[in-house]
Amino acid sequence: MDPLVARIRRTLRRFSLIPAGSRVLVAVSGGADSMALLFALRDLEGLSEVDVAGIAHLNHGLRGNAADDDEAFCRDVAAQLGVAFDTERVDVRGVAAERRLSIEAAGHAARYEFFERAAARLGADRVALGHTRDDQAETFLLRLLRGAGPRGLSSMHPRTGRFIRPMLDCSRRQVRRFVTERAIAFREDASNRDVTIDRNLVRHDVIPHLARRWPGIVRVLGREAEIARDDADFLDATARAAFDRLVRQDADAVSLDARQLRLLPAAVARRVIAMAVLRFSGGRFVGFEHIDRLLDVITDRRPGRGSLSLPGQCVEFDGSSVLLKGRRAPGVVPGLPGAARANFFRFSLSIPGEVVSPLGWTLSAERAIVRNGPWHRLPASSGEERTAYPRSWAVLDGAAVASSLVVRSWTPGDRFRPLGMTGTRKLQDWFVDRKVPRERRGEIPIVVDAGDRIVWVGGHVIAEDFRVTRAAPDVVILKLRYWRHGT
């Protein structure tokens, strides 16, 4: 077996990236990396280890005839291999203008949204991306230069939702050797040489300069990203447990036990404080300096009272406690309509764990291992979940859900991909279509992941990205219970 193919197979097995019975859509730009991934997965398909559902290629419309030639090239490759081909053309400049994003950010968003639609059309459970160890090293350096902490430095993960990266342990040099020895044609994107783009500058200038002095720098940076990921997972889980123990919260305020926070290691205390500050940030940026200002207040043992201003909130403190309040009248959030203003909330939900809302509901989370028995009737994209569980339950793919979630109120601009749908929708439009009364929308718990992607519209519908496949080894179960009279 070719060394690159063997390395990819090892990564697939190590991280259980493709459960038995899953079908994989390969994202192909036409470049060397994605072409190597495609042919390597086809080799593994010949060994009955992978089922390739097809090729997905997005034409960004940014490079004129060159982009059209890339699309034609990928279409021809799919025809030669006898696999399905899915493509779309997206006006990325238009997306950037509409969403007020950079061209790079808009292109990234457009790609992932397209891959989701293509996966649904071709019946794929996973989407394979051609990121290599070199890409990981570049991401690590870029995030380091931008001041990221351990979570940001963990860079790209082997799996994020349905997206998998089987080549994260493969170097770009190994990829080039593979396509050369196999005489695999590929396309060169001239825009990848534009060093006015930060990633290209790191790729063509910074890393080669470092490699001349430290030849193993790419492997070292990739290893640092993996270490940062493991450290961040541990610290986040420890901080969530401390948050549940030391923090009291309701709709209008968050109270921290300053005495107990002083006993925590700084790395854990910062995370607990960040969770509290984000409660009333209203989407405003919360940086390291904000967290450290509050940490300084908490660790200052001098008697007396005082106050502090942080993004979206004010902080009142004495020697024993710290109280965070949004800068608004109690329960009112500027910019949100009607009931959403009055019922604004945001809670951290650990797994296992539970949150109790003053609005009259309790939401719990737990993990369960899938075995023969009642779990055979799990939610599917066809909507089968309504025959298996009450609407007050959500059963999610355990691999797609991290060790904690956030439960919050809906906000204007929320978008998600409802179960069984091929594209995203505005949550507000979904409410209208389902005739959810306007006055009730602000009370519905919206469960989101760490990236603020909607996981479940509580009591209504889960997001397609988190549905359970037949091969899921474990699940996360969310249960919503209303306890207020008349709710």
pLDDT in tens, 165-217: 999 999 999 999 999 999 999 998 877 787 777 888 999 899 999 999 999 99
Instruction: Using alpha carbons, list the distances in angstroms from residue 11 to 1, 6, 127, 335, 435.
Output: 15, 9, 15, 46, 46
For 18-49, the pLDDT digits (tens) are: 888 889 999 999 999 999 999 999 999 999 89
Taking all residues of the chain, what is their mean pLDDT, rounded to a whole number? 82
Q: In what order do the strands lie in the sheet with 461-462?
A: 346-350, 404-408, 446-448, 454-457, 461-462
Strand partners, 27: 56
> Going by C-beta distance under 8 Å and a sequence separation of 6 or more, which residues neighbour residue 31?
130, 186, 187, 188, 189
Helix 172-181 vs helix 3-14: crossing angle, to nearest 10: 130
In the predicted structure, residue 238 carries a pLDDT above the cut 70: yes
In the chain, what are the domains? 3-229 (3.40.50.620), 252-326 (3.30.465.60), 342-482 (no CATH)
Residue 410 above 50 pLDDT? yes
How much is the CA Rg of the chain, to the nearest whole Å?
24
Residue 486 confidence (pLDDT): 39
Indicate the pTM of the whole model: 0.61
**Residue 295 pLDDT:** 84
pLDDT tens per residue across span 42-53: 999 999 899 999
